[in-house]
Chain A
Amino acid sequence: MSDGLNYSFLVKTFFTALSGVPTALMITIVALFIALPLGFMLALTRINRIPVLHRFAQVYVSFVRGTPVIVQIFIIYSSVPLVLTSFFKKFHIETNVYDINPIWYAFIVFSLNTTAILIEVFRSAISTVSKGQLEAAYSVGLTNVQAFRRIIIPQTLVVALPNICTATVNLIKATSLGYAMSLQEITLRAKVAANVGYNYVEAYIDIFLVYLILCSLVEYLFKIYEKRLRKYKAANA
Chain B
Amino acid sequence: MEKYFNAKYIWESFPLLIPYIKVTFLVAGLSVLFGTLLGFILAAMKLGNSKIAQIIANGYTTALRCTPSIVLLFLVYYGIPKIAENFGVNLSDIDKIIFIVITFSLQFAAAMSEVIRSAYQSIDRGQFEAAVSVGLSNAQAYRRIIFPQAFVVALPNFGNSLLELIKEGSLAYTIGLIDVMGKASLIIDGRFNAHALETYLALSIIYWVISIAIEQLFLKLEKVFSKGKQVINPT
Contacts and interface: CB of A to CB of B under 8 A. Distances in A.
A176 B66 CA distance: 12
Interface in A55-107: 62-63, 65-72, 74-75, 78-79, 82, 85
B44 interface: no
Given A201-B79, A204-B78, A66 B212 contact: yes
Interface stretch (A35-43, A156-164, A207-215): A207-215
Contacts, number: 103
A219 to B, nearest CB: 8
Interface stretch (B48-56, B145-153, B200-208, B221-229): B200-208
Contact of A75 (B181, B201, B212): B201
Interface in B67-96: 67-72, 74-75, 78-79, 82, 85-86
Contacts of B5: 82
B204 A200 contact: no
B47 interface: no
A4 B3 contact: no
Contacts of B79: 201, 204-205
A174 B71 CA distance: 11
A169 B68 CA distance: 10
Nearest to B168: A68
A139 interface: no
A2 interface: yes
A155 B19 CA distance: 49
A4 B207 contact: no
B75 A74 contact: no
A211 B68 contact: yes
A187 interface: yes
Contacts of B85: 1-2
Give the interface SS of chain B, mostly helix, strand, loop or mixed: helix
Interface residues of A, number: 38
Give the interface SS of chain A, mostly helix, strand, loop or mixed: helix
A82 B193 CA distance: 13
A151 interface: no
Contact of A174 (B68, B197, B200, B212): B68
A180 to B, nearest CB: 9
A187 B167 CA distance: 20
Nearest to A81: B3
Interface string A174-189: 1011010000000100
18 contacts: A65-B211, A66-B208, A67-B204, A67-B208, A67-B211, A68-B207, A71-B181, A71-B207, A82-B3, A85-B3, A177-B70, A177-B171, A187-B71, A201-B79, A201-B82, A204-B75, A211-B67, A216-B66
Interface of A: 1-2, 4, 62-63, 65-72, 74-75, 78-79, 82, 85, 169, 173-174, 176-177, 179, 187, 200-201, 204-205, 207-208, 211-212, 214-216, 219
